[in-house]
Amino acid sequence: MLYGLGAGLGSVAFSALSAEESPSATLAPKQGHLPAKAKNVIFLMMEGGPSHIDTFDPKPLLSKLHLKEFVREGQQKSAMESGRRYYVQSPFKFIKAGDSGADLADNWRHLAKVADDLCFFRGCTVDSVNHPTAMYQMNCGNRFGGDPGIGAWMTYGLGSLNQNLPGFIVLPEVSYPQGGAANWSNGYLPASFQGTPLRAKGSPILDLHPPEGVTTQRQRKNLDLIARLNTAHAERHPEHEGLAARMNNYELAFRMQMQVPEVLDLSNEDERTRDLYGIGQAATDSFGRKCLLARKLVEQGVRFVQLYNGTWDSHDFIERAHGNLVRGVDQPIAALITDLKQRGLLETTLVVWCGEFGRTPDNGVRQGTAYGRDHNPNAMTIWLAGGGCNAGHTIGATDDRGMEAVEGKAHVRDFHVTLLRLLGLDDNKLTYYHAGRFKQLSQFGGSVIEELIG
């Protein structure tokens, strides 16, 4: 009896799955579990581990302890540590910005102008001290890869607001981040929910335009023939679960040829807007284009856009390295927030800025006086803007050296659960049955960080 019941339920489940993966239903807009404050996300991923101590979390005590030697004991260490360390003060001065008095290093000249739109979170911790595993955990919830990215989960839960564009788009650099494309994978979710990366150089999408002489009508006939063949094959081989997603991708690619070229064309933006983002300036052109494109994509209904900016792994020469990196992203990010706000999009668009972990208040002996910092999973700064976050507030705190979160401390799984909550999704309900159990972004549950929600 139990075996028969299981077979019957399995048949019903497969029918439901097949219907969900049909080309007309996979990315269709869906209702969330709870009232939503945001409907889109722009996720600014600073790969390499930005130093919270040198950006948004000042530690005056380090000036007094500068170059004082000590031995770190009983704490998680990276492979690059010698064991003997010395404290290093920040090479940057800090200011109080906006009416909220937010702490920013003074080289964030443009971001300081929108400080009151930001919610700083200093309590987040992760589990890994190494880049690939920490990247996977921040992006997918699992340190070991193979799980869906945050954008895949959100698109799975809410669908896409534009059926002519992917629901999850990634703007990487020429060199993919550590961990590669698995950072935006669909994992065990249907393939339709994976992130679609746009190439950093050359044509953003290969084969975006049909070959010369191939008309839209001819493409349509080809796709209809392929669909008939695939449908017949799917009926004979229902165990091939990826076929429905492949059929959906063929159709999406066809529709993208109609809309993507216009969306990706930044020349149709006025000169004032391009200047706002720093397009045309050597330091800001690359990331400025990504930020402007992200605004256009969410404006067109893309659910989740992730932007990558790399090389924040400053073990040495942190003043020069972080200085150049901030110079490249400061104006574009401030422009993104300003532009979204002017267009009435910031209320429903959640902007997230983070790395995979923070950095230590001390330095090893790698480059003598060319001071840098090591990896730190126990303290980091993340900030949010728009999308119902608690703007104008700083939540949590680290100790007086910046080594560990001591107030408002929360694991990254809680941060993920909070992001989902802002989108109207309940992590305990947003599950997918795989490998014998129902899986979720948080892995095994988490708590909403209520202080981050406005």
| 94 touches 105 (CB < 8 A) | yes
Three-state secondary-structure class, residue 206 = coil
Model confidence band, residue 199 (pLDDT cutoffs 50, 70, 90): confident
Three-state secondary-structure class, residue 11 = helix
| 345 touches 295 (CB < 8 A) | yes
| 390 touches 451 (CB < 8 A) | yes
Token pair of 359 as six digits:
């950095």
**For the residues 395-410, what does the mean pLDDT come to?**
97
Question: Which parts of 51-189 fold into alpha helices (H)?
Answer: 61-65, 131-140, 150-158
Three-state secondary-structure class, residue 290 = helix
pLDDT exceeds 70 at position 184: yes
pLDDT exceeds 70 at position 353: yes
Q: Among the listed ranges 20-29, 214-223, 321-330, 406-415, which one has the minimum average pLDDT value?
A: 20-29
At 64-116, the pLDDT tens digits run: 999 998 876 655 555 455 567 889 999 999 999 999 999 999 999 999 999 99
More confident of the two residues 305 and 220? 305
What predicted TM-score, i.e. pTM, was given to this entire model?
0.86
Three-state secondary-structure class, residue 389 = strand
| 431 touches 424 (CB < 8 A) | no
Phi/psi class of residue 100: alpha, beta or left (left: φ > 0; alpha: ψ in -120 to 50)?
alpha
User: Euclidean distance between the first and final Cα of the chain, in Å?
Assistant: 52
Phi/psi class of residue 179: alpha, beta or left (left: φ > 0; alpha: ψ in -120 to 50)?
left
- CA geometry: angle at 173 spanning 171 and 361, to 5°? 105
More confident of the two residues 267 and 35? 35
**For the residues 393-406, what does the mean pLDDT come to?**
97
Which residues, in sequence order, are CB contacts of 40 under 8 Å at separation 6+? 161, 298, 301, 302, 303, 304, 305, 345, 348, 349, 350, 387
Query: Which residue shows structure tokens 């493409």?
Result: 219
CB-count exposure of residue 27 (10 Å: 0-12, 13-18, 19+): buried
pLDDT confidence of residue 312:
97
C-alpha closest to that of 314 among 264, 373, 360: 373
At 32-67, the pLDDT tens digits run: 999 999 999 999 999 999 999 999 999 999 999 999
| 303 touches 151 (CB < 8 A) | yes
pLDDT confidence of residue 14:
37
**For the residues 136-149, what does the mean pLDDT come to?**
96
Token pair of 293 as six digits:
């494109």
At 270-282, the pLDDT tens digits run: 999 999 999 999 9
Percent of the chain with pLDDT over 70: 80
Model confidence band, residue 226 (pLDDT cutoffs 50, 70, 90): confident
Token pair of 125 as six digits:
């911790």
pLDDT confidence of residue 24:
42
Give the helix, strand, coil percentages of the chain, each rounded to 5: 35, 15, 45
| 58 touches 398 (CB < 8 A) | no
pLDDT confidence of residue 81:
56
Backbone angles phi, psi at 65, to 5 degrees: -95, 5
More confident of the two residues 162 and 326? 326
Token pair of 52 as six digits:
């919270």
> In whole angstroms, what is the distance from residue 205 CA to residue 449 CA?
38
**For the residues 433-440, what does the mean pLDDT come to?**
95
pLDDT confidence of residue 231:
77
pLDDT exceeds 90 at position 210: no
> In whole angstroms, what is the distance from residue 400 CA to residue 58 CA?
9
Backbone angles phi, psi at 150, to 5 degrees: -60, -45
More confident of the two residues 295 and 165? 295
Model confidence band, residue 151 (pLDDT cutoffs 50, 70, 90): very high
pLDDT confidence of residue 313:
96
pLDDT exceeds 90 at position 232: no
Three-state secondary-structure class, residue 144 = coil
pLDDT exceeds 80 at position 194: yes
Domains of the chain, each with CATH number or no CATH: 2-202+270-452 (3.40.720.10)
